[in-house]
Structure 1
Amino acid sequence: MIDDNSSNLGAYKTMAIAFKALGVVFGDIGAAPMFVFTGIFTGPPDEEDVRGVVSLIVWSLTTVSLIKYIFIVLRANDNGEGGAFALYSLLIRHTGLSIGPEAPRSDDSTIVNYKVDRVPNFIERSKFIQNLLLIIVILGSSLLISDGMLTPAISVMSAIEGLEIPLKSKISKDTLDTITIVLSCGILITLFFGQRFGTEKVGSLFSPIVAIWFISLSVIGIINISERPEILKAICPYYAIKYIFDSGINHLGGVLLVFVGSEAVFADLGHFNPRSIQIAFPLFVYIPLLLAYLGQGASLIKDPSIFATTFWNSIPHNLGAYWFMLILATMTSVIAAQAMISATFALIYQSIQLDCFPRIKIVHTSKKMKGQIYLPEANYALMILVVIICYAFQSSQKLSRVYGLAIAMVMFITTILVSIIMHVVWHLHIGFPIMFLLMFGFVDGIFLASNIGKILTGAYFTLSVATVLFIIMGLWRWGTVHKVDYETLQSTSLNEIIEVMHHGTPRSSIDKNEFGFEETKENSKSLVRMSIDSVKIADNDSIHFIETILQKNIRRQFGKKSKKIRILDSGIYIRRLPGIVLFYSDVSSCIPLSFSHFITHFPALPQIIIFISVHHVAIPHVNENDRLIVDKIGEYDGCYQVVARYGYLEEVIQGDEFISKLVVKIQRSNKHLSEKLDLEELPVTYIFGKQNFYPKPNSSRLKRLMVNIYSFLAHNSRELHSSWSIPSENFIGVGMKVEI
């Protein structure tokens, strides 16, 4: 990710970044010339049809990719980040709402880069519109993830199909088809298995390869145009309009393939900056693509019979040049596939961070580059689906009749969101967003309508996957919101759980109501072995961990007297031990429910008690100085309320380094803390609630089904802390029943 502000970069550095963007951002849109014409014509076209289609391609690329995405949509970035969730966070921030299930915090506005020039607007006033916006964003994300199955398949298959021309006279058609499928699947499986290693080492090769690809497209295009210069008439929009009136919108489904990569360009914006992409596209991408499509149109006019393999037959009949392009096309297709896989990972990661997707394993593959992540479960699920698609559709021509519908819907959603941003965030006169929505919404609507027919030819598969993802994401968000609401309603203040006795505790005495070591140890075992409604909540490792803490610290004493704390319900006094304990909560302003459950069965607490919540804010990254909010809780010695704030793209880290920073923050905020906390001597304990979800007794059948599905997803998802760098030996789970 490029952190530099593009406005402060010199011309040379901006151009260098623009060049680097070629391999990461433009692989998808750059691979399109291999299969666009394959998906348009089903038979040999006449010259007028070719001219009309090429004119449509030229002006679609110009209006949608260049004007809409590069010059307008890219401006709607969230501190340099693009994509549906970035648009959503931008809107949420400017309406004073929370991006997560918890209510917004007023102190979020103090964060650096949390820029808001907020005025009351229709989103803020309507809960219905707020929910509708979230539904639209989740739908768009589901569609984009489902499209991630098709891009790798169609890119790689269209490249491997180039073997047909030099080998068709030597090998039968059936054998060639088998070779194409096997090689395509082999390349894709290798690509997916290689995801665990990341792309940091090979990523530097992507830009030179894609640059050579665009140069080659330009050269081939110029050669073909020189043979049939009359194709240049297609630059006139008259032929595009005439073709639509004469032939209807049926072929627009194939034309859409020209600019489907535009959405990926916006989604990958965070790797660079808007200025570098706005420079790179017109100079290095737009012109070569125009030349490539005009050149292929010229080849079709020259020989209409090549409609099924237009790209490969447009290459000059030189064996060396052909094999060079075949190898180059294969590498470019792999880069395009990699770009879509990375974008899919990033989108799922954002969804997880915003509580819109079940938690799965997250591996950060690079310490230097932010955003380099690997999701094993998503990777192998995607690999299986991609291989199934290759075997099911068998060729890029058949795939092209499926590809595009999901992206057409996503592009329409992007138009809606950007229109709202124009009014709410940019404060433009209402006429401008209406004009933008009408103009580009009309264009998106035409392309969407032209792709509806693809449902019958196989697009139902991607829509089915998108529907399943939408239901999962929607249910997960719904369940998480209800879980937070439950904790908020059930939460109590600290003085309703414990009370402070205003006299000192003798240094070497144990109150008659307090447990000694053996009693405390046995009581702790009841905690980790206990069941609520027959739900087992911990294991022997937790028992051993608690015993270790007690063995080390039960007889250690503070250097001065401390106030005694008593549990109100039982009257039992709580023994204070050296150490730090963090009780995690989904609600930043409440005492975690796990706290009362814990002390009921284990009436001993460390010296420092921290009630902490991880709070995601509506910006990509939070400055370290703004990370922690620490408040001391009343008269309770060593009790603190902490909020750890993270951007929606940040990795949550709660390990040793985080604890060190937290302790420093506590010491700075509490001038009366006379003892310096030695982390090497003080054990740190992390306590999480392990919720088990049940429908309320009076719930309808539909709600019971929804709760049961959410409970199943929660039970089979990763633990919340699994990727937070928390030592597993320092973790305790406290079981709780949650009714939704």
Structure 2
Amino acid sequence: MFLLSRQLVASPPARTLTLAFQSIGVIYGDIGTSSLYVFSSSFPEGIRHSDDVLRVLLLIIYTIVLIPMIKYVFLVLRANDNGDGGTFALYSLICRYANVSLIPNSQPEDSQLSNYKLETPSAARRIKEKLEKSKTAKVALFLTTILGTSMVIGDGVLTPCISVISVVSGINGLSQDAVVYISIILLIALFCGQRFGTDKVGYTFAPAICLWLLFISGFGAYNLFKHETRVLRAFNPLYIVKYFQRNGHKAWISLGGVVLCITGTEAMFADLGHFNVPAIQISFSGIVFPAILCAYIGQAAYLSKFPDHVRNTFYDSIPSPLYWPTFVVAIVAAIIASQAMISGAFAIVSQSLSLSCFPRVKVVHTSGKYEGQVYIPDINYFLMIACVIITYGFKSTEKIANAYGIAVVSVMLITTSLLVYLSSVLYKFSQGGFLPLAFSLVLMIIMGTWHYSQQQRYIFELKNKVSSVYVRDLALNTGIKKLPGIGLLYSELVQRIPPIFPHFVSNIPSIHSVMVMVSIKAIPISNVSREERFLFRQVEPREYNVYRCVVRYGYKDPIEEPGEFEQQLVQNLKEFVRLEHVLHNRVVEKDHEHEPDLSGEGSTSSAAIQSVSSSNKGVNIPLAVLPKAEERMRFIDKAMEQGVFYLLGEAEVVAKKDSSLLKKIVINYAYTFLRNNFRHGGKMLAIPQKRLLKVGMTYEV
């Protein structure tokens, strides 16, 4: 199901060209620096026949043409989620087409959001029905998504290692240990600088990558005309057949090195949200593609004359006077390539948090202009330690390349199929290729454990939800004290009253003058506008001022600071109260005619309010309504002045006694360990500790 991106709508040529320029610095650092190590990885045992250079070059050329150019630039980029790409974007798109989310928190009102509702093609309706009926298909989709996520995080570890080591290896006369220690110092410096953010990253990095592409394409042309122009014969596809006929098994193994020429290709899709489809098509087709093609052709021409230099092809083929300037530019390019993958790892972890697929970590938004730019301190230090260990343990680009190939192809395999390349890189499993698979397995266990436990927790709350009758009875209870201010009770339940609410009241027999039960909900779209973010429901009786509020965020939306969040919530609550009075008055004027219960819990919903709001434009509101509404709005303002207080339930989740042994291990030990060692809900929501009240409760799932 390919969708035409909203970004394909004609945009000013100047803006498209500007975005194309910026995309060079953000997206292509990795694929641009691959020429440092592709030939050495393709010939781990050296070049046995000079014609093999031409045949490997042909594999490189057709790999670049078929995958980045044809597959990604002209096909995959169109399969986006309203202009956003990446594994989670595809999963979110599928979740909107079909109800395949494992956490049952969908609401009819969500489909009214901008960019949410999609027309399902008739040909896809059967697939949609089968997906919704099959629990196995839902689980398979989720596992595929977190596998792709794990591999992208793995790229964030391996890209800095192989890029930095490849550059440092170019210094003549350095021992292997010296290369390793210098690389470790550079990597630590790279990760320590992450906290400053990457604001204006496109303008900052684009000139450096353009200079790098100019260097490698210039060297390619130089080597081509100086050493061997006959390498241009490599465009003949018959050379591939002859290469495999002569080398057989070894030719197949060499694909594991060839595939490294397209490292970083997935960034074109993953970073689509920062640019647009025409900009990426222009930048890759017009600048990057010819530059890297020229670089590989030039290296092949050099190796045709000097096959013994395959271990360090790039630096050996550089003219002597330009060696050190190239080395400096190469370091910058390697850092940029690493930066792009590290930032990508931060972004995808941030997205997975919004879908309850990762334990809670602190997310810092480093740019007010670029919404996707985030910094996650916990993940940053984890990546840094992993990079240092891998660099020290593997020591050479050849071993890291074996692991890197598996990570690269596996990420692309999530988007489409690359089975031939996957089989060739898996052959090197025991030579370091096990690393990304083991790394991804650990991450998948963490993400799967967290998501499953959150799902069980949500289902428990859904089964034990409290009827709105409880609030009516509470209003009649004279033993319940009224406290000044607004109380915000956080719960993950988006329907009815959560079981934690009566638990609060039973432990602390009091309630704030205005009570709002808040649920932070992730919507399977990239952004939710502020105008559509808050969904209120009135809980009867009205005089008791109890409301349900679902706050909806897209997977790229940051959660506001407490002060800003409070202002937005109260402002939207007052608007809800005003329009709710209009709706209630209309019901009274119709002689108490039955009004449909749109909320499912006997209360007025925002869906009805929104319809009144749109139909009420230009219509005079009855004067009898306004004083009542204004009185309640003034009451809310007064409560706001008295303070906003946060109520948070600390639920201890344990498996039932009759649960299976596996479930007990997952819930009682693995999930508990993750909860205790990652951030708690209060810290994630940046709730002021002086205004926070916690009450514990045990959930038996």
What is the TM-score normalised by the length of structure 2? 0.87
How far apart in 2 are the matches of 1:202 and 1:290? 26
Corresponding residue SS for 2:170: helix
Corresponding residue SS for 1:650: coil
Which residue is equivalent to 2:514? 608
Q: Is 1:146 aligned to residue 154 of structure 2?
A: yes
Note closer, same or farther for the CA distance 1:608–1:203 as it changes in structure 2 (3 Å cut): same
Counterpart amino acid of residue 93 in structure 1: R
1:315-360 CA-partner distances (Å, limit 9, x unpaired): 12x32x1111111001000000101100111111111111011011
Corresponding residue SS for 2:541: coil
1:426-465 equivalences under 5 Å are 441=417, 444-465=418-439
Which residue is equivalent to 1:515? none
Q: Is the 8 A contact 1:655 1:725 kept in 2?
A: yes
Counterpart amino acid of residue 647 in structure 2: I
Q: Is 1:738 aligned to residue 699 of structure 2?
A: yes
1:94-113 equivalences under 5 Å are 94-98=97-101, 101-113=103-115
How far apart in 2 are the matches of 1:678 and 1:5? 45
In the TM superposition, residue 6 of structure 1 has moved relative to its aligned partner by 5.0
Which residue is equivalent to 1:68? 71
Counterpart amino acid of residue 530 in structure 2: E
How far apart in 1 are the matches of 2:241 and 2:17? 37
Which residue is equivalent to 2:529? 623
Gaps of 5+ in 1: 169-174, 416-440, 501-563, 567-571
In the TM superposition, residue 117 of structure 1 has moved relative to its aligned partner by 0.5
How far apart in 1 are the matches of 2:103 and 2:338? 34
How far apart in 1 are the matches of 2:64 and 2:695? 56
Instruction: Tell me whether 674-683 or 262-271 shows the greater mean CA deviation.
Output: 674-683
In the TM superposition, residue 149 of structure 1 has moved relative to its aligned partner by 1.2
Match of 2:293 among 290, 296, 299: 290
In the TM superposition, residue 220 of structure 1 has moved relative to its aligned partner by 0.8
In the TM superposition, residue 588 of structure 1 has moved relative to its aligned partner by 0.6
Corresponding residue SS for 1:692: strand
Which residue is equivalent to 1:686? 646
Q: Is 1:43 aligned to residue 3 of structure 2?
A: no
Counterpart amino acid of residue 176 in structure 1: S
Note closer, same or farther for the CA distance 1:390–1:145 as it changes in structure 2 (3 Å cut): same
Which residue is equivalent to 1:23? 25
Corresponding residue SS for 1:356: coil
Which residue is equivalent to 2:663? 703
1:644-683 equivalences under 5 Å are 644-653=551-560, 655-670=562-577, 671=581, 672-673=628-629, 674-675=631-632, 676=634, 677-678=637-638, 681-683=641-643
Q: Is 1:279 aligned to residue 282 of structure 2?
A: yes
Which residue is equivalent to 2:597? none
In the TM superposition, residue 14 of structure 1 has moved relative to its aligned partner by 0.7
In the TM superposition, residue 381 of structure 1 has moved relative to its aligned partner by 1.0
Which residue is equivalent to 1:503? none
Instruction: Tell me whether 365-374 or 383-392 shows the greater mean CA deviation.
Output: 365-374
How far apart in 2 are the matches of 1:678 and 1:244? 80
How far apart in 2 are the matches of 1:203 and 1:275? 16
Which residue is equivalent to 1:247? 247
How far apart in 2 are the matches of 1:238 and 1:11? 41
Which residue is equivalent to 1:350? 351
In the TM superposition, residue 203 of structure 1 has moved relative to its aligned partner by 5.4
In the TM superposition, residue 642 of structure 1 has moved relative to its aligned partner by 0.9
1:447-503 CA-partner distances (Å, limit 9, x unpaired): 000011221101212221111111111111110100000111111113136516xxx
Counterpart amino acid of residue 301 in structure 1: S
Identity of aligned residues (%): 38
Q: Is the 8 A contact 1:260 1:407 kept in 2?
A: yes
Corresponding residue SS for 2:647: strand
Which residue is equivalent to 2:236? 236
In the TM superposition, residue 373 of structure 1 has moved relative to its aligned partner by 1.2
Match of 1:633 among 524, 539, 545: 539
How far apart in 2 are the matches of 1:4 and 1:189? 40
How far apart in 1 are the matches of 2:245 and 2:266? 28
Which residue is equivalent to 1:419? none
Structure 1 or 2: larger helix share? 2
Counterpart amino acid of residue 411 in structure 2: V
How far apart in 1 are the matches of 2:201 and 2:115? 33
Q: Is 1:565 aligned to residue 526 of structure 2?
A: no
How far apart in 2 are the matches of 1:45 and 1:274? 43
Corresponding residue SS for 1:629: strand
Counterpart amino acid of residue 697 in structure 1: K
1:328-727 equivalences under 5 Å are 328-415=329-416, 441=417, 444-496=418-470, 499=473, 564-566=475-477, 573-636=479-542, 637-653=544-560, 655-670=562-577, 671=581, 672-673=628-629, 674-675=631-632, 676=634, 677-678=637-638, 681-707=641-667, 708-727=669-688
Counterpart amino acid of residue 698 in structure 1: D
Counterpart amino acid of residue 668 in structure 1: E
How far apart in 2 are the matches of 1:87 and 1:575? 49
In the TM superposition, residue 7 of structure 1 has moved relative to its aligned partner by 2.5
How far apart in 1 are the matches of 2:6 and 2:689? 37
Gaps of 5+ in 2: 582-627
How far apart in 2 are the matches of 1:52 and 1:378? 41
Corresponding residue SS for 1:251: helix
Q: Is the 8 A contact 1:25 1:269 kept in 2?
A: no
Q: Is the 8 A contact 1:497 1:596 kept in 2?
A: no
Which residue is equivalent to 2:615? none
1:49-92 CA-partner distances (Å, limit 9, x unpaired): 01100000000000011111111111111122111111111111
How far apart in 1 are the matches of 2:147 and 2:201? 33
Counterpart amino acid of residue 504 in structure 2: F
1:676-706 CA-partner distances (Å, limit 9, x unpaired): 1146622111111101121211122211111
How far apart in 2 are the matches of 1:225 and 1:679? 77
Aligned-pair Cα RMSD in Å: 1.8
How far apart in 2 are the matches of 1:576 and 1:476? 38
Which residue is equivalent to 1:508? none
How far apart in 2 are the matches of 1:484 and 1:385? 34
Q: Is the 8 A contact 1:355 1:480 kept in 2?
A: yes
How far apart in 1 are the matches of 2:21 and 2:561? 37
Note closer, same or farther for the CA distance 1:245–1:26 as it changes in structure 2 (3 Å cut): same
Q: Is the 8 A contact 2:150 2:443 kept in 1?
A: yes
Instruction: Tell me whether 283-292 or 203-212 shows the greater mean CA deviation.
Output: 203-212
Corresponding residue SS for 1:618: coil
How far apart in 1 are the matches of 2:440 and 2:242? 35
Which residue is equivalent to 2:328? 327
Counterpart amino acid of residue 215 in structure 2: S
Q: Is 1:728 aligned to residue 689 of structure 2?
A: yes
Counterpart amino acid of residue 243 in structure 1: Y
Instruction: Tell me whether 693-702 or 384-393 shows the greater mean CA deviation.
Output: 693-702
How far apart in 2 are the matches of 1:269 and 1:105? 29
In the TM superposition, residue 634 of structure 1 has moved relative to its aligned partner by 2.0
How far apart in 2 are the matches of 1:652 and 1:57? 44
Counterpart amino acid of residue 646 in structure 2: Y
How far apart in 1 are the matches of 2:399 and 2:459? 48
Which residue is equivalent to 1:528? none
Which residue is equivalent to 2:180? 181
In the TM superposition, residue 109 of structure 1 has moved relative to its aligned partner by 1.1
The total of aligned residue pairs comes to 631
How far apart in 2 are the matches of 1:660 and 1:247? 69
Corresponding residue SS for 2:431: coil
Instruction: Tell me whether 715-724 or 405-414 shows the greater mean CA deviation.
Output: 715-724
Q: Is 1:310 aligned to residue 318 of structure 2?
A: no
In the TM superposition, residue 241 of structure 1 has moved relative to its aligned partner by 3.3
In the TM superposition, residue 410 of structure 1 has moved relative to its aligned partner by 1.9
Which residue is equivalent to 1:536? none
Counterpart amino acid of residue 487 in structure 1: E
In the TM superposition, residue 661 of structure 1 has moved relative to its aligned partner by 2.1
Counterpart amino acid of residue 629 in structure 1: L
